[in-house]
Amino acid sequence: MRSNQPQTIYLSDYKVPAYLVDHVDLRFELFEHGARVHSILTVRRNPQSDDVGAPLVLDGDRLVLESLALNGTPLDGDQYEDRGDQLVIADVPEQFQLSVVTWIEPQNNTRLEGLYKSSGMFCTQCEAEGFRCITFFPDRPDVMARFRTRIEADRSAYPVLLSNGNDIDRGDLPDGRHFVTWEDPFPKPCYLFALVAGDLVEKRDSFRTRSGRDIDLRMYVEPRNADKCAHALDSLKRAMRWDEEVYGREYDLDIFMIVAVDDFNMGAMENKGLNIFNSSCVLASQDTATDAAYQRIEAIVAHEYFHNWSGNRVTCRDWFQLSLKEGFTVFRDSQFSADMGSATVKRIEDVTLLRTAQFAEDAGPMAHPVRPSSYIEISNFYTLTIYEKGAEVVRMLHNLLGPELFRKGSDLYFERHDGQAVTTDDFVRAMEDASGRDLSQFRLWYEQAGTPVLTVRDEFDADRGVYRLTVEQTLPDTPGQTDKKPHHIPFALGLLDRRGQPLPLRLADDDTEAPTERMLELTERAHTFEFHGLAECPVPSLLRNFSAPVRLNYPWTREQLLFLMSHDPDGFNRWDAGQRLAVDVIQSLVGAPRDTQVEPRLVTAYRHLICDASLDQALVAKMLQLPSEAYLIELADEADVPAIHQARERVLKHLAISLRDELVACYRRNAQDSAYDLSPLAIARRSLRNTALAWLLAINDEEGRALAVRQFRDADNMTDRIGALRALVNSDYEDDRNQALASFYQRYQDDPQVVEQWFSVQAASDRAGQLPQIRALLTHPAFDWKNPNKVRAVVGAFAGQNLAAFHQVDGSGYDFLAEQVCRLDDSNPQIAARLVTPLTRWRKFAPAYRERMRAALERIRDKPSLSRDVYEVVHKSLAG
Ligand code: PHE
Ligand code: ZN
């Protein structure tokens, strides 16, 4: 029986499994009307378990049990209990073989968990708890088994049959069917199991490891995508080389496979030897993928590949430890991306995501520690906190230990725990043992939720030449957590003299060899640091390269920010100073009288950025991006979205009008003058010319309009084509907008990944994406409720990016979202739960909005038979 009220799972209830599975023998019979799964489990009692008389309990979800046998003898109905979500066998020997046959219906699986069909092919998604939708099994990551998998299907409809490991046998069967058998020599948890069957083309490549083994690389896609594989395969080879060089990790199987599927809940999945990707995160061609997509693909291919060690060879003991693999792997992929392109730009992008979305999550009702202590539905915990904050926590270890000791720690971790299912604590202990450092206080980063706030004050003692810096840390309360302890925080800083020269940081009078940058360590609620031997009051450059995931308060003057924008040797802090200045200027205009002046020094600073071609163009391209509305909302106490939107628009238009000629010159200077390439400089130049275009169209500039129309027509790559389209869509030139949208659709209607971009350009635009237009997009023939990417491109982009349109004071945007969540809840609860996110932040908004957001949440709450996924998000959001 499943009770109505979803149960909470607690970390403190963790017990080792009573039974272990050493081997799994699977046989899949795939048909159009369903699939039969034959499973033979080799089971033994776990010697580590003190639960001696425990029954065998297997998880199952929506399975039809066809037969059950123990050591070859069929079990009678009274020898087991089928509880729907669990199969319980009370009386089992110390060791035995259990044979289970189940029937499932992949063709009707809209949740996209377990075995399902996507564009005619069969595929699987088992993380976190999808394997139980395929067969009865102890579906928990600390049960690791060797898998052998035989797949049988119609030969002409499914010529390609894939699973984990190596193919060891294949052949024909009667009735036009065939089979392939795969064997994976590495024990793995069932969440890493995968199967694919389809009519796919294969792209082959190879990689020689540093120990001289040749690995077969294979990518499988639908025939129409055959020309979009090169970038993923190249990225894969770069990632394989990088992991050898930087972490000393080699690939372990003989084959590595990547498959692209159109219907996928997440970005991609690291199944052992058989990574499965959302098409939008792996397929690319010059004509269809933007620079951002190319970079995303490189990062995700690397991320999934890196999981082979951080996640697969060493896996999680339980799902509370999710950040053990995700935080570490995100850190690894961000180091990789930094090495492949501009490290400063990569850091800016990561911190932007963290400060905009993870800080918001950490300040809201769903806030949870990097290692949570309870959950209702684990699918809800694939969060920015687990991934991005988890990566920041690993980065802080890297900052505290330095690269050599960190590498010693990761070597020890992989060596000590290879083949095991472990905890975040084991990870920290390896770092501790390798470095000799005491990380007991550092462990609080895994246990305490909420973003620490650092408040910095300073004073200069001119007589003694001493500059005194006081740093205080506080931690906000979060659901279920109050009165927190101070964190161990690496705090990087430098000091600049009035000409912008870095000053030596002498912590004592006699400190003669002092460095110009230090990684200070904060452990107390307040610290005071004294810097000696200074002739004048310096300008501090604080939290360089964002050395810890904290909010930093310091009473910068606009003068100091302008100074840091052009002088800070730390590229990240140069960008950050610009952001802080822009935030300050925009905030001062929120709700201000129409004739309030826009800070003229902001215009001067931007003019300098646009015109000085000697500056690092990749950094300039980032510095020109004004802080997003989402970030401004995150920084506000009681956000009034229309007022924030207007203030930001005012600043943007003021800049565009004041710098109109400079923008046209910038556009022309950065026009494409050679063949398309993906170097950081080429990407920066495309970004600059598209920003110039967007700004010119924001002020209805006729020359800008002509440039946009021409660029839209003549572009030889998607970044420029969609850049021009976006600029036109966001302009007042309604005819140009409609024409461009129609011709874009006409050209790309057969390419789902491009149609997704076409949807989201509209849904994210306050010109083309007001509610009636959004509703129209939902009835467009290319829209498909069963495809998560389409739902995200329209509903997700509207509620998450088109903020002024979503936050209508009559609540219509919220009601719309509630309606779509309820509609999706039955077919795909994971996607439904994710769509609720914008409403969970209801307490952040001005009262009129807040109440209507809450009402929308209550409407969702009252839907009959709510999924556990949406139940958890909605109830936690409304609580307290
Ligand atoms: N483990 C995947 C990743 O981060 C994400 C994922 C989770 C995919 C759950 C599907 C389901 O690499
Ligand atoms: Zn991952």
Q: What is the pLDDT of residues 809-867, one digit of tens each?
A: 999 999 999 999 999 999 999 999 999 999 999 999 999 999 999 999 999 999 999 99
**What pLDDT, on a 0 to 100 scale, did the predictor assign at position 2?**
41
**What pLDDT, on a 0 to 100 scale, did the predictor assign at position 512?**
81
**What pLDDT, on a 0 to 100 scale, did the predictor assign at position 797?**
98
Digit-coded pLDDT (tens) for 544-585: 999 999 999 999 999 999 999 999 999 999 999 999 999 999
Task: Enter the pTM of the model.
Answer: 0.99
**What pLDDT, on a 0 to 100 scale, did the predictor assign at position 247?**
99
Digit-coded pLDDT (tens) for 18-61: 999 999 999 999 999 999 999 999 999 999 999 999 999 999 99
pLDDT band per the 50, 70, 90 thresholds, residue 510: confident
Q: What is the H or E stretch that residue 195 is in?
A: strand 195-198
**What pLDDT, on a 0 to 100 scale, did the predictor assign at position 5?**
87
**What pLDDT, on a 0 to 100 scale, did the predictor assign at position 728?**
98
Query: Of 473, 423, 430, 427, whose CA–CA distance to 450 is shortest?
Result: 473
Q: Whose CA is nearest to atom 3 of ligand 1?
A: 269
Q: Whose CA is nearest to atom 1 of ligand 1?
A: 269
**What pLDDT, on a 0 to 100 scale, did the predictor assign at position 407?**
99
Residues with CB under 5 A from ligand 2 (ion): 326, 329
Q: Considering the chain, what is the average pLDDT of its residues?
A: 98
Q: Please give the distance, rounded to the nearest whole angstrom, from the Cα atom of residue 191 to the centre of ligand 1.
A: 10
| Bridge partners (DSSP) listed for residue 82 | 87
pLDDT band per the 50, 70, 90 thresholds, residue 348: very high
The per-type count for the chain, helices as H runs and strands as E runs, is 30, 31
Helix residue spans in 715-770 (DSSP H): 718-729, 734-748, 752-763
Distance of CA 423 to the CA centre of its chain: 21
The b/e string for 351-362 (b: 16+ C-beta within 10 A; e otherwise) is bbebbbbbbbbb
> Quick check: 513 pLDDT over 90?
no
> Quick check: 260 pLDDT over 60?
yes
Report residue 246: phi and psi, to 5°.
Answer: -90, -35
**What pLDDT, on a 0 to 100 scale, did the predictor assign at position 619?**
97
Query: Is-contact 450 358, C-beta < 8 A?
Result: no
Digit-coded pLDDT (tens) for 640-674: 999 999 999 999 999 999 999 999 999 999 998 89
Whether the upstream peptide bond of residue 128 has omega within 30° of 0, thus cis, is yes
pLDDT band per the 50, 70, 90 thresholds, residue 1: very low
> Quick check: 475 pLDDT over 80?
yes
Regarding the beta carbon of 303 and ligand 1, being less than 6 Å apart is answered: yes
Q: Please give the distance, rounded to the nearest whole angstrom, from the Cα atom of residue 330 to the centre of ligand 2.
A: 7
- The C-alpha atoms of residue 656 and residue 457 are separated, in whole angstroms, by 36
**What pLDDT, on a 0 to 100 scale, did the predictor assign at position 204?**
98
Query: Is-contact 383 362, C-beta < 8 A?
Result: no
As a whole-number percent, the residues of the chain with pLDDT over 70 amount to: 100
Q: Which amino acid makes up residue 701?
A: D
The residue-averaged pLDDT of 399-426 equals 99
The residue-averaged pLDDT of 213-228 equals 98
Q: Is 783 exposed, middle or buried (0-12, 13-18, 19+ CB in 10 A)?
A: middle
Digit-coded pLDDT (tens) for 307-346: 999 999 999 999 999 999 999 999 999 999 999 999 999 9
Give me the active site residues, please: 304
Q: Measured from the CA of 270, which atom of ligand 1 is nearest?
A: 12
The residue-averaged pLDDT of 355-367 equals 98
In angstroms, the Cα distances linking 730 to 576, 762, 766 are 27, 9, 7
pLDDT band per the 50, 70, 90 thresholds, residue 107: very high
> Quick check: 3 pLDDT over 60?
no
Mutate to test the pocket of ligand 1, among 270, 276, 331 (most ligand atoms within 8 A of CB): 270
Q: Please give the distance, rounded to the nearest whole angstrom, from the Cα atom of residue 73 to the centre of ligand 2.
A: 41
Query: Is-contact 465 532, C-beta < 8 A?
Result: yes
The residue-averaged pLDDT of 57-72 equals 98
In angstroms, the Cα distances linking 45 to 97, 500, 688 are 12, 68, 63
Q: Which amino acid makes up residue 182?
A: W
Regarding the beta carbon of 326 and ligand 1, being less than 6 Å apart is answered: yes
- The C-alpha atoms of residue 315 and residue 144 are separated, in whole angstroms, by 9
Mutate to test the pocket of ligand 1, among 259, 266, 277 (most ligand atoms within 8 A of CB): 266
Q: Is 42 exposed, middle or buried (0-12, 13-18, 19+ CB in 10 A)?
A: middle
Across 17-113, the runs of DSSP E, i.e. the strands, are 19-31, 34-45, 56-59, 64-70, 73-74, 81-82, 86-89, 95-104
Report residue 854: phi and psi, to 5°.
Answer: -65, -40
Report residue 352: phi and psi, to 5°.
Answer: -60, -45
Residue matched to tokens 């030449």: 465
The residue-averaged pLDDT of 55-79 equals 97
